């Protein structure tokens, strides 16, 4: 395939309806130097026919089976050449001119590896979207949060986060990344399958001194929970397991054992909360996630060693040094602004 400035890549798995609903905005608002690609994870529905019939200008890239979000993107992007890749969920509606602020910023800031637009809710247009808001952060125990979303509390957008901001992680729903940084970081961790993989990638990039930013001038709308509902046991399992793997891969040695001890306690509290609410499937998912994390630790040791060797930034400014859970549950901090008011 001939190289383009930008390749917008949508990973699809049995998402014909999503393609019908959301691909039109991507095609409509893509500039001539942009290649729009649907990479298919072995769908069994009529996705291929939908794209061929309704969107002939879109490139169809067929994978032989469902590799999940992480490895699916790894395999798809290995076949594409562009200065910038955009990983775009199939349930994202983009807006006119959405790519220009991202490209312009990346062109003029070579120290930045990746960026995201402001991610808004498709259902509630004035609200930030859970999966990314106006840029992702993390606390020292590995709990992610966003400008515009703390735990389950999602803010309305009143322009309070309209400044370009350095962030810890950019949402995988609409992630622009330099091809050179994608290659040097090794792409997404295919072992994750899905969930937390973009945070892990951004953590590696930040630890190696590369920048991640949110560009709120660009705005898109995310349907959200299109693949798995928020408390689906499979999603619970992947989130807990992958979060622990991400911590193990990336946290400096001086903090690792303390953080894993605290996470052991807090994960068991989460499991008990599910049990007390009668949700046995999600409680079991937490137990299974912790069991499989421990089984996978030897396999991930080499990845940890590699990450530690390549780390140049041992303290990442966008990692909150206090506990998110303490701030949220005991201090009542429900917004990003309130959370960081206590940090100053």
**Contact yes or no for 117/219 (Cβ under 8 A):** yes
pLDDT of residue 229: 53
Average pLDDT over the chain, rounded to whole? 95
Q: What is the mean pLDDT of residues 74-83?
A: 97
Is there a single domain that holds both residue 80 and residue 107?
yes
**pLDDT exceeds cutoff 60 at 189:** yes
Q: Return the structure tokens found at 177.
A: 């990344």
Shortest CA distance to 294 belongs to which of 341, 247, 236, 245? 245
User: With the C-alpha atoms ordered 291, 296, 297, 298, is the resulting torsion angle positive or negative?
Assistant: positive
Q: What is the mean pLDDT of residues 106-120?
A: 98
The proportion of the chain whose per-residue pLDDT surpasses 70, expressed as a percent, equals 97
59 within a domain of the structure (yes/no): yes
340 within a domain of the structure (yes/no): no
Question: Confidence class of residue 33 from pLDDT cuts 50, 70 and 90?
Answer: confident
Is there a single domain that holds both residue 272 and residue 216?
no
Report the CATH number that the domain containing residue 73 is assigned in CATH: 3.90.550.10
pTM attached to this predicted model: 0.95
**Contact yes or no for 11/41 (Cβ under 8 A):** yes
Is there a single domain that holds both residue 182 and residue 289?
no
Q: Return the structure tokens found at 288.
A: 């299974």
333 within a domain of the structure (yes/no): no
Domain of 195 in residue numbering reads as 4-222
45 within a domain of the structure (yes/no): yes
Is there a single domain that holds both residue 173 and residue 267?
no
Strands 319-320 and 149-150: unpaired
pLDDT of residue 247: 98
pLDDT of residue 227: 47
Q: What is the mean pLDDT of residues 81-93?
A: 97
Task: Dump pLDDT digits (tens) for 143-181.
Answer: 999 999 999 999 999 999 999 999 999 999 999 999 999
Q: What does each C-alpha distance from 210 to 113, 205, 207, 245, 332 come to in angstroms? A: 6, 5, 7, 22, 33
More confident of the two residues 217 and 232: 217
Shortest CA distance to 147 belongs to which of 122, 126, 168? 168
Shortest CA distance to 36 belongs to which of 80, 98, 71? 80
Is there a single domain that holds both residue 288 and residue 168?
no
3-class secondary structure, 87: strand
**pLDDT exceeds cutoff 80 at 141:** yes
Is there a single domain that holds both residue 51 and residue 197?
yes
Task: Dump pLDDT digits (tens) for 280-332.
Answer: 999 999 999 999 999 999 999 999 999 999 999 989 999 999 999 999 999 99
Q: What is the mean pLDDT of residues 50-74?
A: 96
pLDDT of residue 332: 94
267 within a domain of the structure (yes/no): yes
Q: Report how many domains make up the chain.
A: 2
pLDDT of residue 94: 98
Could you tell me which residues are beta bridge partners of residue 315? none
Provide the 8-state DSSP code for 190: G
Q: What is the mean pLDDT of residues 73-94?
A: 97
pLDDT of residue 225: 66
């Amino acid at each position: 395939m001939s190289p383009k400035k930008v390749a917008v890549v949508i990973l699809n798995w049995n998402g014909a309806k999503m393609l019908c609903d959301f691909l039109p905005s991507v095609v409509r608002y893509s500039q001539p130097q942009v290649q729009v690609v649907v990479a298919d994870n072995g769908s069994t529905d009529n996705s291929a026919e939908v794209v061929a019939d309704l969107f002939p200008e879109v490139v169809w890239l067929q994978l032989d089976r469902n590799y999940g979000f992480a490895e699916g993107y790894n395999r798809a992007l290995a076949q594409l050449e562009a200065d910038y890749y955009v990983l775009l969920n199939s349930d994202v509606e983009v807006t006119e001119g959405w790519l220009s602020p991202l490209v312009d910023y990346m062109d003029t800031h070579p120290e930045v590896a990746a960026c995201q637009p402001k991610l808004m809710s498709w259902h509630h247009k004035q609200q930030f979207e859970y999966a990314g808001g106006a840029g992702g952060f993390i606390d020292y125990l590995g709990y992610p949060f966003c400008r515009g979303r703390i735990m389950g509390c999602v803010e309305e957008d009143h322009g309070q986060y309209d400044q370009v901001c350095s962030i810890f992680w950019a949402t995988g729903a609409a992630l622009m990344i330099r091809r050179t940084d994608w290659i040097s970081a090794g792409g997404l961790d295919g072992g994750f399958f899905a969930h937390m993989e973009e945070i892990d990638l951004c953590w590696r990039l930040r630890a190696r001194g590369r920048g991640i930013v949110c560009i709120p001038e660009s705005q898109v709308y995310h349907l959200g929970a299109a693949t798995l509902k928020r408390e689906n046991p499979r999603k619970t399992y992947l989130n807990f397991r992958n979060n622990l793997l991400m911590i193990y891969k990336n946290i400096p040695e001086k903090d690792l054992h303390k953080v894993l001890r605290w996470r052991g306690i807090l994960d068991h509290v989460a499991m008990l909360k599910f049990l007390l609410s009668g949700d046995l499937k999600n409680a079991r998912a937490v137990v299974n996630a912790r069991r499989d994390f421990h089984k996978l630790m030897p396999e991930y040791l080499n990845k940890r060693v590699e990450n530690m060797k390549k780390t140049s930034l041992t303290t990442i400014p966008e990692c909150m040094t206090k506990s998110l859970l303490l701030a949220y549950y005991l201090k009542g901090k429900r917004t990003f602004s309130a959370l960081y008011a206590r940090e100053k």
